[in-house]
Amino acid sequence: MLRDKDVDGAALLSDIWIKGSRILIRDCGQYGNESARSFSIMTGSLAPGPNAVLSHITQSGTQYLYPHQRWAHGLLVEDTTAPTFFVNRKTRGTGQGWSMSGGVGWNLRGEAVFESPPLGVNWCIGCRGPAGQKGNGTFINEDRPAKPKSLFQTQLQARGYN
């Protein structure tokens, strides 16, 4: 995606919006104006998962990978440079609340803020972004890559797919 200008006002545009289940977003990125803010990839309300985002690049730190609305579940984000936020959005927007439960960040290279909702867990494994990791989520292998390099590919191979 090419984002050539910033948006007016507080509301950000969405480049990719996940609203369903078994959606794979792979080898994509957002480029253009480095100050152009957007939700590079976001989830909609109650997106059931499983869904995956693999090998994703953003040109700047203002293009976010951000589960957006209430209670999406089961999102794997692997190998991205985008700032990734699995958090409680509280009353922002239309009162979006907890954006993600059962989410996994794997070998992230951008800022990572992972919070776990009541009775749920979000994991950040092998996350090593320049701004560090924040939140009450479960952090494993902080500041160094996790093995295997690709959790998604390893799971496919274990099922007999190449």
Residue 19, Ramachandran bin (φ over 0: left; ψ between -120 and 50: alpha; else beta): alpha
The upper half-sphere exposure of residue 90, i.e. CA atoms within 13 Å in the direction of its Cβ, equals 0
Q: Average of pLDDT values for 34-49?
A: 84
Q: What's the N-to-C CA distance of the chain in angstroms?
A: 28
> Which residue, 31, 85, 20, is CA-closest to 56?
31
Q: Give pLDDT tens digits for 61-80.
A: 777 787 877 889 999 999 99
Lowest mean pLDDT among 20-34, 43-57, 98-112, 123-137: 123-137
Compare 50 and 11 and report the one with higher pLDDT.
50
The pLDDT value given to residue 81: 87
CB atoms within 10 A of CB 25: 17
Q: Which long-range contacts (CB under 8 A, 24 or more apart) does 116-125 make?
A: 117/88, 122/86, 125/151
Q: Give pLDDT tens digits for 103-114.
A: 999 999 888 899
Domain ranges of the chain: 18-158
Q: Average of pLDDT values for 135-148?
A: 87
- Residue 144 CA, chain-centre distance (Å), reads 18
Q: What is the pTM of this model?
A: 0.88
Residue 162 has pLDDT above 90, yes or no: no
Q: Average of pLDDT values for 15-43?
A: 86
Q: What is the spatial distance between Cα 2 and Cα 16, in angstroms, rounded to a whole number?
A: 12
The pLDDT value given to residue 95: 64
